[in-house]
Amino acid sequence: MHESIAFPNLGIEFEHVGKSISVFGFEIAFYGIIIGLAILIGFGIATAEARRTRQNPEDYMDMGLIGVICGIAGARIYYIIFSWDMYKDNLLSVFNLREGGLAIYGGIIGAILSVLVCAKVKRLSAPQILDTVAMALVNGQMLGRWGNFFNREVFGGYTDSLFAMRLPLDAVRGRDVTEEMRQYMEVIDGVSYIQVHPTFLYESLWCLGVLLFLFFYRKHKKYEGELFLLYLFGYGLGRVWIEGIRTDQLFLPGTTLPVSQLLAGGMVVLTGILLLYLRKHHKRMPLLRAHVDYKPMPPKIEGNKKPRSKDRLFKNME
């Protein structure tokens, strides 16, 4: 298999881009490394936001561990449901995550359900928790898409645009290659190449924009849950058009309707209506008010002596 990835119209070429790295004889996929890094950074973002809003960061460590497990399970279940033909003849392959097969919407659903359960058990505000983790979630999606870069997957149809990506034909899954790609296929030094939309890159950049918007807007939000709704609206809006050009879509059984595109469109409509409605009526809803029982450490301890930085529980709190 050839390992080059190029962006010819940008003059960028990577000659050797492997899918994994060998550590003491064990192959570790770059996709897994990137997902692990995204989870660690997500924990940092969520706990920092918890400190800023005077919540208990330890609650988010507990919920985060449960949320990661539920998110991965949800992502796998979602993918299998809409790709059942790939697994029905070999049920053990359901547990083989090394071959890929995770759907981000399933991960979001699994993580949200875990948050709702944890909030109920811990008697915390679910909308406040969802706001606190919103930036962590979009960060995970932004970084996680780069795992698709190493796997040569999640790309769109043929294009000769500025960001066109050139891939060796033998490095991609055959079912993701369309007739149009084959029509414009190039042969260079005996190697066949296809040229496609790098939709993983489009989505990563879109998520970066959503992340920056949430970061600057968070201090101006009107009610608990608003940041999370804005995250769903912004992400869904981008996913509607990006999903439309991908070649690895999951379809509703028995139809040619892309399930993720339909879900994204429905999410945009629903969250848009909620954002408009709650903008005017949120004050009537106690559920959407902050629930803060956790108090920060006093600014001074031991008389007039200021605490050392390592003694402060809330270093980032305003």
Residue 44 confidence (pLDDT): 92
pLDDT at position 63 is 85
Beta-carbon count within 10 A of 153 CB: 19
Under DSSP, the state recorded for 244 is: T
Token pair 């034909």 is found at 169
Q: How far is CA 72 from CA 33, 82, 185, 273, in A?
A: 15, 16, 36, 29
Residue of 209, 279, 258 whose CA lies nearest to 237 = 209
Separation of alpha carbons 71 and 49, rounded Å:
21
Question: Comparing 307 with 28, which gets the higher pLDDT?
Answer: 28
In the chain, the percentage of residues whose pLDDT exceeds 90 is 43
Mean pLDDT of the region 224-234: 95
Mean pLDDT of 285-310: 57
- In sequence order, what are the beta bridge partners of 188? 191
Strand 165-168 and strand 191-196: the pairing is antiparallel
Mean pLDDT over each residue of the chain, to the nearest integer = 84
Three-state SS annotation for 177-233: CCHHHHHCCEEECCEEEEEECCHHHHHHHHHHHHHHHHHHHHHHCCCCCHHHHHHHH
Q: Residue 5: helix, strand or coil by DSSP? A: strand
91 residue type, one letter: L
> Got the DSSP string for 45-95?
HHHHHHHHTT--HHHHHHHHHHHHHHHHHHHHHHHHHTTGGGTTT-GGGGG
Strongest mean pLDDT among 67-71, 176-180, 246-250, 302-306:
176-180
Q: Closest Cα to residue 316, out of 38, 75, 48?
A: 48
175 Cβ neighbours under 8 A, 6+ residues apart: 248
**pLDDT tens digits, residue range 234-265?**
999 999 999 889 988 777 777 778 888 898 99
Burial class (CB in 10 A: 0-12, 13-18, 19+), 299: exposed
pLDDT given at position 94? 66
Q: For 51-60, 82-91, 100-109, 168-177, which range has the lowest pLDDT when averaged over its residues?
A: 82-91
Q: Distance from first CA to last CA of the chain, Å, rounded?
A: 54
pLDDT in tens, 116-131: 888 888 888 889 999 9
Contact 149, 201 (CB under 8 A): yes
Residue 91 above 70 pLDDT? no
Cα-based angle 64, 65, 69 (whole degrees, multiple of 5)? 110
Cα(184)–Cα(273) distance, rounded to whole angstroms? 43
- pTM, to two decimals: 0.82
pLDDT, average across residues 99-116: 77
Percent of the chain scoring above 70 in pLDDT: 85
Of residues 56, 38, 36, the one with CA closest to residue 47: 56
Q: Which helix (H) or strand (E) holds 21?
A: strand 20-23
